[in-house]
């Protein structure tokens, strides 16, 4: 999505207000921060273990790690069971004579085995710390993470700024986020400007109207209705 298309849609609703490039850039940046709280990109990464090493770098664009498939007694490979799990410990004999019930039983017991064997992890900045410390080298551990949308700057091959990863159908949602930032900023600006002064001892100032906040929140509701309650924001 071209930044110029975004700013053109935003300014089209103003007949007298003129925005300079710096003001528009600031509004786009603030709106993008809010957008990323609700709809970041969902990506996958791989960690390759080293014996005795507990901390591992994640991708530079990682905003928040969602999950790490770490099994200290056998690594998760290509969606298959960890090797020690794919043994008689997991093979459950038929119990009911019903194929569907047997499958459900096997799935339940598989999950119980995986939970018992799964390791733990925590994110520390752009690193993931594994518990317990890996004892073997060269195991690949899959992880999932959120990555923010960013503005790709002008280059020789891309002549204009754009947010390449944002879906075009979110244009109106993003413009509403810019409007919300503008409304809130205007309310703050009014609150610190004197309304009138009486001598040197007293001055009366504007207050931020409650409907300023209401308008800003209503403008953000389109994003919330489409992408939920900002669960990725709570993780970050």
43-98 pLDDT, tens digit per residue, is: 999 999 999 999 999 999 998 999 998 877 654 443 444 444 444 344 444 444 56
User: Is 102 in contact with 94 (CB distance < 8 Å)?
Assistant: yes
Provide the percentage of residues in the chain whose pLDDT is more than 90: 47
Q: So what's the pLDDT on residue 93?
A: 46
Query: Which tokens belong to 223?
Result: 């994003």
Q: So what's the pLDDT on residue 168?
A: 93
Q: So what's the pLDDT on residue 105?
A: 66
Q: So what's the pLDDT on residue 115?
A: 54
Is 234 buried (19+), middle (13-18) or exposed (0-12) by CB count in 10 A?
Answer: exposed
User: Is 88 in contact with 179 (CB distance < 8 Å)?
Assistant: no
Spans in the chain with pLDDT lower than 50: 75-96, 234-236
Q: So what's the pLDDT on residue 35?
A: 96
């Amino acid at each position: 999505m071209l930044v110029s298309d975004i700013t053109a849609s935003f300014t089209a609703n103003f007949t007298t207000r003129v925005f300079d490039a710096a003001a528009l850039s600031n509004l786009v940046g603030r709106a993008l921060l809010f957008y990323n709280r609700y709809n970041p990109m969902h990506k996958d990464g791989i960690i390759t273990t080293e014996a005795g090493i507990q901390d591992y770098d994640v991708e530079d664009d990682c905003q928040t790690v969602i999950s790490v498939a770490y099994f200290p007694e056998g690594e998760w490979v290509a969606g298959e069971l960890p090797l020690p799990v794919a043994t008689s410990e997991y093979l459950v004999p038929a119990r009911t004579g019903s194929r569907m019930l047997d499958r459900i039983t096997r799935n339940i017991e598989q999950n119980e085995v995986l939970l018992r064997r799964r390791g733990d992890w925590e994110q520390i900045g752009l690193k993931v710390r594994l518990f317990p410390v890996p004892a073997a080298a060269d195991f690949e551990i899959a992880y999932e993470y959120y990555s923010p949308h960013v503005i790709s700057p002008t280059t020789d091959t891309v002549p204009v700024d754009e947010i390449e990863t944002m879906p075009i159908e979110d244009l109106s949602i993003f413009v509403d986020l810019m409007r919300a930032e503008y409304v809130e900023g205007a309310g703050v600006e009014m609150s610190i400007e004197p309304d009138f002064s009486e001598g040197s001892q007293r001055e009366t100032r504007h207050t931020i109207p409650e409907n300023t906040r209401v308008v800003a929140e209503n403008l953000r509701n389109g994003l919330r209705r489409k992408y939920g309650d900002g669960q990725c924001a709570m993780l970050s």
